[in-house]
Amino acid sequence: MEPKIETGWCPGCGNFAIRDVLEKVFADLPILRNKIVLTSGIGQAAKMPQYLDVNYFNGLHGRSLPPAVGIKLARPDLTVIAYSGDGCMYGEGGNHFIQTLRRRLDITILVSENQVYGLTKGQSSPTTALAVKNDLSPGGNPNLPLNPLALAVTMGAPFVARGFAGDKEHLKALIREAILFKGTAVVDILQPCVSFNKINTYAWYRERVFKLERPLTDRYEAIRTADLWGEKIPIGVIYRNDEAPCREIKEIFQVPLTKADVASRLHMRCVMMR
């Protein structure tokens, strides 16, 4: 059901279902709401935190992750979730995505995956399939799509999953698991854009998605599974590695950023930027 709050989204947008799921996840989590903070960039998806009753920081396009890292360093006690669209997270924010996975902090990364730049009227995004036509690529998208899940597994992310806005119960369990996971968790959420993506619709996905029965723990099997797209599209936990160490701020720096003196802050900056 679409919320009785004013949003900037088109009726039928997949983001409504995701918002609904997030509301339920936050209500159920064993974490107080005032200990949860969302960071986002710019885009339709990046408006998400504005429609939820949590703390948030709405930054620049492509920049949902730097504030997430900064907040986690300063306030390790907070549950930090970065939320943005495929363009914001993997295009303009692509380098932040890669570098954040290298940092190994306890952050959750959620992405509304609609395979378009929705807010700016449907141009190709980094995940648009090869040859797909739109207003700015009338001859078809000439670029190969990026595979965010395979990239995340390759970069060592210990929790990598795909959800579908059309299966809210499954998505709810997935997001809850990702938030409670101790380490960097990525969930790419298939989110139909009813206005600009006439290919990857709810019906198109419903014919193709299948649920993984268990989380995959073998990295190479996970990459092969992340590569499945077309007739069959897996949803669920593509990769989970409970052995991967999560970096605790107190182990790296002894004190959180807010309590550090200037010299220690400079040291933190050097360590985190490497």
User: Which among 68-76, 89-97, 152-160, 188-196 is the span making contact with ligand SF4, rule CB under 6 A?
Assistant: 188-196
Q: Report if residue 59 touches ligand TPP, rule: CB under 6 A.
A: no
Q: What are phi and psi of 241, to 5 degrees?
A: -130, 100
> Cβ 184 to ligand TPP, closest distance in Å?
20
Helix H or strand E segment including 211: strand 209-211
> Cβ 195 to ligand SF4, closest distance in Å?
4
Q: 195 contacts which partner out of Mg ion, ligand TPP, ligand SF4, none, CB within 5 to 8 A by kind?
A: ligand SF4
> Which one among 18, 40, 41, 44 touches ligand SF4, defined by CB under 6 A?
44
The residue count for binding ligand SF4 (CB under 6 A) is 11
CA-wise closest residue to 124 among 113, 110, 109, 135: 135
Q: How many CB atoms lie within 10 A of CB 68?
A: 26
Q: Report if residue 193 touches ligand SF4, rule: CB under 6 A.
A: yes
Q: Report if residue 117 touches ligand SF4, rule: CB under 6 A.
A: no
Name the DSSP class of 258: G
Q: Report if residue 18 touches ligand TPP, rule: CB under 6 A.
A: no
Under 8 Å CB-to-CB from 262, ≥6 apart: which residues? Answer: none
Question: For residues 1 and 24, is the Cβ–Cβ distance under 8 A?
Answer: no
Q: Provide the mask over 85-104, with x wherever binding to Mg ion is found by CB under 5 A and - wherever it is not.
A: xxx-----------------
Burial of 250 (0-12, 13-18, 19+ CB in 10 A): exposed
Tokens of 215: 């989380």
Residue least distant from ligand TPP (Cβ): 85
Binding site for ligand SF4 (CB under 6 A): 9-10, 13, 15, 44, 114, 118, 193-196
Binding site for Mg ion (CB under 5 A): 85-87, 114, 118
